[in-house]
Amino acid sequence: MPVTQMVLILLAGVGAGAINALVGSGTLITFPTMVTLGFAPLTATISNSIGLVAGGVSSTWAYRRELRGQWDRLRWQVPGSLLGAVLGAYLLLHLPESVFNRIVPALLVGALALVVIGPKIQAVAQRRAAAQGRSTDEISGGRLTALVIGTFVVGVYGGYFAAAQGILLIGVMGVLLPESMQRMNAAKNLLVLMVNVVAAVAYIVTAFDRISWPAAGLIAVGSLIGGFLGGHYGRRLSPNALRAVILVVGLIGLYRLLAV
């Protein structure tokens, strides 16, 4: 692999790791970069998923403080992500990519809409809970079930394509959870990491010959650095600033997906 390509893939990995820590659309940087450099789309998808695991580890570690107090809920969400990722990885290896690509833009638009209206829905729910004498931090069984199902569906999507799964998760959690943006972002980083780990293991076992290990290694190094930097500085953003970053990156990602 030429040095120029190595540098471009490494830099794309840094950018993807940082964006994933903040939003979760890093694949929209690394995937187009690899395809532009001549990699087959399937090879680019698989190698990218493996490489971005490292960035998921560093960004999750950077947000470890925000994960405190969420484990009672995450113990239900994590299995949903894992099972969804298994199904998504299976679909990637057995279905044409065009099947999912047709609905990706619609999913992304829906997620961005949820990011915008989520706080308003939460405010209404909190006022109603207060009027009924219930704790505003309480999560009903129905909402938890809806959350786990939503997490599973996003896991399927993430195991298949990965791009923008973080935005989808933030959208789902923003509507259903009485949590701050930073705490939801911490949960998002952990759940996306789970999806990427499962997908990476599945690809290594079933599609070893389709992986570009030099590219995956460069993305891993870059995303490890980018994930730490994005997590370190992203934790300092205000909720509105973080929501604005999500919207901007999401709209850019939507444009790139529609332009393909």
Domain boundaries, the chain: 3-259
Q: How confident is the model at residue 256 (pLDDT cuts 50, 70, 90)?
A: low
Q: What is the pLDDT of residues 95-134, one digit of tens each?
A: 776 665 676 677 667 666 766 665 665 566 556 555 544 4
**pLDDT average, residue stretch 208-212:** 85
Instruction: Tell me the Ramachandran region of residue 133: left when phi exceeds 0, alpha when psi lies from -120 to 50, beta otherwise.
Output: left
* pLDDT at residue 135, rounded to an integer: 44
Q: What is the pLDDT of residues 157-175, one digit of tens each?
A: 888 776 677 778 887 887 7
Concatenate the DSSP letters of all residues of 74-115 into one string: HHHHHHHHHHHHHHHHHHHHHS-HHHHHTTHHHHHHHHHHHH
Q: How confident is the model at residue 136 (pLDDT cuts 50, 70, 90)?
A: very low
